[in-house]
């Protein structure tokens, strides 16, 4: 992607080092939200629609906050499958074509992998993929990277452990893929036998010369990494309850683990958590997950302003 202007954001593989730096520079400029009116003209007069067919707190609220801070109007539909005419059987394609007539940009979250591409195929205005099933969550990857840079002052050379059911977890997939833009990254996958990171991501890492290692044991990796990236067991993507129950609770990051990490290490999680990180961990400065969630506003302001903002 050469320029952000009027681009769809379909997946994290569109990004390269240069446009990531452009995005993060803009995010750093826009981050001081305490300046009244700062940047409020950038999206003035623009209408941004948020169609969320799946539940969300962070992605929807931070996109909406970002849009409003920069002066846009938002049309927002939570639980779109039930509270829009999708409930009457309207196709995603028809909904996107209709909402094109009301907006300048659409932010879409949908449970089906490939839904963002379907939307792009019929849309004359930019679509931002805010999560399409188990496949991809590109804007989460952007805010995760921004968080890593903010915490460590660099991204090159970091080592990161992804922990949990990695077969179903789009945020881990997206962050792995986007990390291939950086040098000397080391990745550790900590996952149960039948829920390992999928081969498409491993192939991409190999092709990009990113070293990765696999284990089932969390304590194996704590001393080796800068970042422990915990993940939720995503119940909504399991076909049977037994499989879900087998995986849930396998990895719980507790206060005792903090002492086993490197001194400068941090714990990240895209959230929501449902027990994977004990709340006792929250008091530690190593707990970066609420800082990470907050960074979503600056990164999403930067993204919206670069795609449809005034220059
Ligand atoms: N991290 C994330 O996507 O959270 P939400 O599901 O609350 O948007």
Q: What is the DSSP letter of 114?
A: T
Give the mean model confidence (pLDDT) for residues 213-223. Answer: 97
The residue among 278, 285, 232 whose CA lies nearest residue 257 is 278
Tokens 């959230």 belong to: 271
DSSP one-letter string for 279-294: GGGGGSTTB-HHHHHH
Q: Mean pLDDT of all residues in the chain?
A: 94
- CATH architecture label of 138-293: 3-Layer(aba) Sandwich (3.40)
**Tokens representing 32?**
């001081």
Domain with CATH 3.40.50.1370 in the chain: 12-136+296-308, 138-293
Q: pLDDT (tens digit, 9 = 90+) per residue, 277-305?
A: 999 999 999 999 999 999 999 999 999 99
Question: CB of 276 within 8 A of CB of 252?
Answer: yes
Question: CB of 160 within 8 A of CB of 152?
Answer: no
Q: Cite the DSSP H helix spans in the chain.
A: 17-30, 58-69, 80-83, 92-100, 115-122, 138-152, 170-179, 199-207, 241-247, 255-260, 289-308
Mutation to probe ligand 1, out of 12, 50, 52, 57 (largest number of atoms < 8 A from CB): 57
DSSP one-letter string for 52-104: ESS--SHHHHHHHHHHHHTT-EEEEEETHHHHSGGGGT--HHHHHHHHHTT-S
Confidence (pLDDT) at 37: 59
User: Beta-carbon neighbour count of residue 32 at 10 Å?
Assistant: 10
Structure-model confidence comparison of residues 175 and 244, the more confident one: 175
| CATH code at 12-136+296-308 | 3.40.50.1370
SS3 298: helix
**Tokens representing 265?**
């290490």
- The residue whose C-alpha atom lies closest to atom 3 belonging to ligand 1 is 59
Rounded to two decimals, what is the model's pTM? Answer: 0.95
Tokens 């958590």 belong to: 273
Name the pLDDT band for 234 (thresholds 50, 70, 90): confident
Q: What's the 293 CA to ligand 1 centre distance in angstroms?
A: 9
Question: CB of 4 within 8 A of CB of 303?
Answer: yes
Rounded to the nearest 5 percent, the helix, strand and coil shares of the chain are: 45, 15, 40
Q: pLDDT (tens digit, 9 = 90+) per residue, 132-184?
A: 998 999 999 999 999 999 999 999 999 999 999 999 899 999 999 999 999 99
The residue among 160, 210, 156 whose CA lies nearest residue 188 is 160
Catalytic residue set: 58-59, 88, 109, 137
Residues with CB under 6 A from ligand 1: 56-59, 131, 140, 270-272
């Amino acid at each position: 992607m050469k320029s952000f202007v009027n681009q769809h954001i379909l997946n994290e593989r569109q990004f390269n080092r240069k446009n990531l730096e452009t995005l993060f520079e803009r995010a750093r400029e826009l981050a001081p939200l305490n300046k009244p009116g700062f940047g409020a003209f950038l999206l003035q007069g623009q209408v941004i629609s948020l169609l969320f067919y799946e539940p969300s707190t962070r992605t929807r609220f931070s996109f909406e906050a970002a849009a409003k801070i920069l002066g846009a109007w938002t049309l927002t539909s939570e639980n779109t499958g039930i509270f829009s005419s999708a409930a009457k059987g309207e196709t995603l394609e028809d909904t996107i074509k209709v909402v094109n007539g009301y907006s300048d940009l659409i932010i879409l979250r949908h449970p089906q992998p490939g839904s963002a591409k379907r939307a792009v195929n019929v849309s004359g205005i930019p679509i931002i993929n805010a999560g399409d099933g188990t496949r991809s969550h590109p804007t989460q990857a952007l805010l995760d990277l921004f968080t890593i840079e903010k915490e460590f002052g660099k991204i090159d050379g970091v080592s990161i452990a992804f922990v949990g059911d990695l077969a179903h977890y789009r945020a881990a997939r997206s962050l792995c893929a986007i990390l291939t833009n950086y040098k000397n990254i080391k990745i550790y996958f900590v996952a149960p036998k039948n829920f390992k990171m999928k081969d498409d991501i491993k192939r991409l890492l190999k092709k990009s010369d990113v070293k990765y290692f696999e284990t089932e044991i969390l304590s194996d990796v704590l001393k080796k990494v800068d970042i422990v990236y915990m993940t939720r067991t995503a119940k909504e993507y399991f076909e049977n309850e037994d499989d879900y129950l087998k995986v849930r609770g396998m990895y719980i990051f507790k206060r005792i683990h903090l002492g086993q990490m490197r001194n400068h290490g941090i714990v990240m999680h895209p959230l929501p958590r449902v027990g994977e990180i004990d709340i006792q961990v929250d008091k530690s400065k190593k707990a970066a997950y609420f800082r990470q969630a907050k960074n979503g506003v600056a990164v999403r302001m930067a993204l919206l302003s670069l795609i449809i903002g005034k220059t």
